[in-house]
């Protein structure tokens, strides 16, 4: 962007300094909450003896979240430096790559979780031969390979080189093209369609289940639907809606860059994708018993330690 700070302040009504403070504080809070939640999830998943397709998908989701959390210190440093990029070209390219990697791995893993629950609820008998951990692992490996290969152009020096020292267009993907519009819509439409169809069919099936005999299945399915939809609507829908508008309005030939409100909307919705790193551990708590037990044990031990310290004191 080539707008001066005075021009941007007058146009948006909020100073760049205040804007940077808000985003810095937001990213620090997300980092503090998301790191322990996802680290504990990884520890619980990999120490769990019994496995299932759901556990495979959730553990991969925690890996994707941690890969995104890695770029938060870079965003914090960027805003602390008044939107000057201090980390060099390699980390600039890596920040865009990790952003896309996490976002689309998360989206498609949530669609896998929805498909898995659909098969378990709607096709309980047939699912016994389909819902196997080895199939889930194969699906996850294929997903990671496809997304890594698809996103690898963001690591290309030719396409992502910083324009000048202190500028990183990859951090919020501010430089784009009309060709990106189709890929953005398609990449988002597939998991959106899968999740919508799966949950519609699950809800229709739940209406036919006996209220007492199938209560555990119904409760778990409803919890999953609420958690995944909340994550999907808060973290990913705003970004993709804004991104489509941004790409359509973006004109590479403009000397002053995109309109400032659009730039800030792009930053806000990009920041909202971080919410997934906070909401996913909540999903792990309700959908994975091992993670829930570990978290409860951790808090129980902490309370016992505090009580003992209070009694001794």
Q: What is the pLDDT of residue 274?
A: 92
SS (H, E, C) 111-142: HHHHHHHHHHHHCCCCHHHHCCHHHHHHHHHH
Region 119-137 average pLDDT: 86
Residue 10 has pLDDT above 50, yes or no: no
Q: What confidence score (pLDDT) does residue 310 get?
A: 46
Q: What band does 205 get if pLDDT is binned at 50, 70 and 90? A: confident
Whether 61 contacts 191, CB under 8 Å: no
3-state secondary structure of 13: coil
Q: How far apart are CA 33 and CA 28, in angstroms?
A: 9
Do the beta carbons of residue 87 and residue 79 sit within 8 Å?
Answer: no
Domain count, the chain: 1
- Whether 241 shows a pLDDT value over 90: the answer reads yes
Confidence check: pLDDT of 39 > 80: yes
CATH number (domain holding residue 35) = 1.20.1070.10
d(CA 5, CA 2): 9
What's the pLDDT band for 3 if we cut at 50, 70, 90? very low
Angle value at C-alpha 58, between 74 and 302, nearest 5 degrees: 75
Neighbour count for residue 177 (Cβ, 10 Å):
10
Q: Which domain holds residue 242?
A: 5-312
In sequence order, which residues have a C-beta less than 8 Å from that of residue 86 and are 6 or more positions away? 77, 78, 166
**What is d(CA 109, CA 210) in angstroms, rounded to the nearest whole number?**
30
């Amino acid at each position: 962007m080539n707008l001066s700070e005075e021009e941007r302040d007058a146009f948006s009504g909020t100073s760049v300094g205040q804007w940077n403070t808000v985003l810095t504080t937001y990213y620090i809070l997300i980092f503090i909450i998301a790191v322990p939640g996802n680290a504990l999830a990884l520890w619980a998943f990999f120490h769990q003896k019994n496995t299932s397709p759901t556990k495979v998908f959730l553990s991969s989701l925690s890996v994707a979240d941690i890969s995104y959390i890695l770029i938060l210190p870079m965003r914090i440093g960027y805003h602390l430096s008044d939107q000057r990029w201090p980390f060099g070209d390699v980390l600039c390219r890596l920040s865009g790559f990790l952003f896309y990697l996490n976002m689309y791995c998360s989206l498609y893993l949530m669609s896998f979780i929805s498909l898995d629950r659909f098969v378990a609820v709607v096709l309980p008998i047939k699912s016994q031969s389909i819902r196997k951990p080895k199939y889930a692992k194969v699906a996850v490996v294929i997903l990671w390979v496809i997304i890594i290969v698809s996103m690898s152009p963001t690591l290309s020096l030719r396409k992502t080189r910083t324009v000048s020292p202190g500028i990183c267009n990859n951090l919020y993907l501010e430089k784009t093209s009309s060709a990106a519009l189709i890929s953005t819509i398609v990449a988002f439409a597939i998991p959106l369609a899968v999740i919508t169809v799966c949950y519609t069919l699950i809800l229709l099936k739940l209406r036919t289940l006996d209220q007492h005999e199938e209560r555990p299945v119904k409760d778990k399915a409803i919890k999953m639907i609420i958690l995944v939809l909340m994550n999907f609507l808060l973290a990913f829908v705003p970004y993709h809606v804004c991104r489509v508008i941004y790409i359509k309005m973006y004109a590479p030939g403009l000397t002053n860059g995109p309109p400032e409100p659009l730039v800030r909307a792009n930053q806000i919705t990009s920041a909202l994708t971080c919410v997934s790193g906070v909401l996913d551990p909540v999903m792990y708590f309700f959908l994975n018993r091992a993670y829930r037990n570990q978290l409860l044990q951790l808090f129980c031990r902490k309370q016992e330690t505090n009580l003992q310290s209070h009694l001794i004191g």
